[in-house]
Structure 1
């Protein structure tokens, strides 16, 4: 049989995921991940549901698992305090972290889950691929690099606008509840901010896919995972000797974004420093409020 996501032969002939995985194993050219991918879509036999499940679970698992190291660091101040950026501030309490988790889960289920359910129809409309095989690593790396720079530009100007008084009070104030951020606060934001910033994450793959027809869902998932990791690390409150910003000077890093939360202005970019350096002469200070 031809191994594509539009075939229902396997779903009709088998009933369990393990049987589907074994069936996919008949194609020696498929990697383990590609076999699992094909089996997932064949098992659910509903592309919208299958895409929604894999996207939402990946988002939740990757987000909270990446927060674990920072939760551990906050729980062991005797070991990690020397790397704390705002070392005059106490680590977040268990109450703070649990309150943050509850709010983020509410945002994820109420705001992000409906967007994820709608992603498959948007993906098909814009011409993104989701059938196997996956694109090669070089293609994935180049596209993700493009996404990082485009999203960073979008994030810089939108974030700067969020610090205009009315927008700050109506939208962005929630995210600045914590002047000394910690990992979990990366997605602690109002529903409007979540949707608008989320557009900067999913928009670049959709636009590139529309014009080239060469963007795969696996690339999008890898991009979203890296963007999550970047946001969580930027809010971690820790700066280590091996942090990426020490290797790649253009990278903002946690010390860069931590200053934004501490002083409530400047350092508006998500990943890189070039926009903030180029437009440093612009000042919205008279509109910026806590």
Structure 2
């Protein structure tokens, strides 16, 4: 039996022996822990784990780095935001279960086909870029910036935990929904959604890490925290289309 066949058999047994709502909730919680909490912790302690590697790749100089108290505060805010999201998730799943309905996401005993998986991931990446870019730019509108988004921009030199350091309204509207809506609207398999969510969690922790990884993506997002009016998107597609990258050379910083 191949590794894939073994994995499919284990997954089919899990689906057959557990409530799909429980699989949805617990699995998503595990994805959050593995692909966001662990990378964030590793990035924060990279100075101690690999000091020479850290010094080589750190973007901002030491005087601009947030204090230990700032980082601890960001952790507490992230926990608050995640508690809100998972409480809403649990409430929706409970309501669905009480009415005898399946979860909004598809929990099948079989794996998604390669064709479906590839198509849904590709569409989800593009849809998330549109939703995130749009919502991010809206939150930079001055009244909304001052009321909501200014919280996230407290970190002019981002650290990994600042990726979910945000006002709860912004966290739901600009961070969570742009990731969850595409697979939900596509009717994706839950495994497809988990892969997509895992990628997005790694991406956001990395680009906020303060280290220049992912082919300059972290440096670009660092520039956004420094200058405000550039690099609103995730993969850079709409920044290119709408000219909010830095192709035209240095621009005057926008003070919010």
Q: Compute the TM-score of the two structures, normalised by the length of structure 2.
A: 0.82
Q: C-alpha offsets along residues 73-96 of structure 1, whole Å, 9 cap, x if unaligned?
A: 244554422312223545444333
Among 56, 59, 74, the alignment partner of 1:100 is 74
Superposition CA RMSD, Å: 2.9
* Paired residues of 1:55 and 1:116 also in contact (CA < 8 A): no
| Contact 2:64 2:157 (C-alpha < 8 Å) held by counterparts | no
Q: In structure 1, what is the equivalent of residue 145 of structure 2?
A: 168
TM-score norm. by structure 1 comes to 0.73
| Cα displacement (A) at 1:119 | 5.5
On the 8 A contact 1:156/1:275 being kept in 2, the answer is yes
Native 8 Å contact 1:89 1:180 kept in 2: no
Which residue does the alignment assign to 2:248?
Answer: none
Note the residue ranges of structure 2 that are not aligned, 5 or more in a row.
245-250
Q: Distance in 2 between matches of 1:63 and 1:192?
A: 20
Query: For residues 41 and 129 of structure 1, what CA distance do their matches in structure 2 show?
Result: 11
Deviates more, 1:95-104 or 1:257-266: 95-104
Rounded to whole Å, the distance in 2 between the matches of 1:188 and 1:119 is 26
Is the CA contact (8 Å cut-off) linking 2:58 and 2:211 kept in structure 1?
A: yes
**Structure 1: gaps of 5 or more residues:** 1-26, 210-214, 246-252
How far, CA to CA, are the matches of 2:51 and 2:61 in structure 1? 10
Match of 1:195 in 2: 172
Could you tell which deviates more after superposition, 129-138 or 33-42? 33-42
Alignment of 1:184-223 (within 5 A): 184-197=161-174, 198-209=176-187, 215-223=188-196
Q: Distance in 2 between matches of 1:142 and 1:38?
A: 23
| Secondary structure, aligned partner of 1:239 | coil
Q: Give the direction of change, closer, same or farther, for the CA distance of 1:148–1:82 in structure 2 (3 Å limit).
A: same
Is contact 2:127-2:182 (8 Å) kept? yes
The separation in 1 between residues aligned to 2:183 and 2:189, in whole angstroms, is 9
The corresponding residue for 1:276 is 239
Ranked by relative contact order (alpha carbons within 8 Å, sequence separation 6 or more), the top structure is 2
Kindly tell me the number of residue pairs found equivalent between the two proteins.
242
Instruction: Tell me which of 73, 80, 86 is aligned to 2:46.
Output: 73
- Partner of 1:236 in structure 2? 209
Whether contact under 8 Å (1:163, 1:289) holds in the other structure is no
Q: Which has the larger radius of gyration?
A: 1
Q: 1:160 Cα deviation (Å)?
A: 0.7
Aligned residue in 1 for 2:197: 224
